[in-house]
Structure 1
């Protein structure tokens, strides 16, 4: 339960994430946005490798992300 489907196409790699993050000031805080219709803001928790993947854990929910976040992520 909760595991990725074996054989499913993996669309984003560690190298992809590193390349994306290089565009930003390394001193900026990082947040996760989830649920496109009403984006929640989550702080980043532990990062681990398991089951052949890297997992980014949630530390806690901070509230709702600003409208600009949904716009910039292409959710609206």
Structure 2
């Protein structure tokens, strides 16, 4: 298995992610938003390294994300 980067516009590094997260209160919970047409909320699961990358596992669907999430992510 190789790296699947089809259609990737910008590769996010660990440093990029850390810098982005520094803007927020460290006590806040983290969620993943997926599916721009109907944003869904997923918990963050296990984080690991493999194939020369850091992988963030999906930790289970929590429901639909509020409309504000899609707006702030530029999906609407």
In the superposition, the TM-score normalised over structure 1's length comes to 0.89
Counterpart CA distance in 2 for 1:9 and 1:67 is: 24
Q: Which runs of 5+ in 1 are unaligned?
A: none
**Moved beyond 6 Å, runs of 4+:** none
Q: Which runs of 5+ in 2 are unaligned?
A: none
- Evaluate the alpha carbon distance shift between residue 65 and residue 2 of structure 1 in structure 2; reply closer, same or farther with a 3 A threshold: farther
In angstroms, what is the RMSD of aligned CA positions?
A: 2.1
* Counterpart residue number, 1:75: 75
* Counterpart residue number, 2:46: 46
* Counterpart residue number, 1:17: 17
In the superposition, the TM-score normalised over structure 2's length comes to 0.89
- Evaluate the alpha carbon distance shift between residue 33 and residue 68 of structure 1 in structure 2; reply closer, same or farther with a 3 A threshold: same
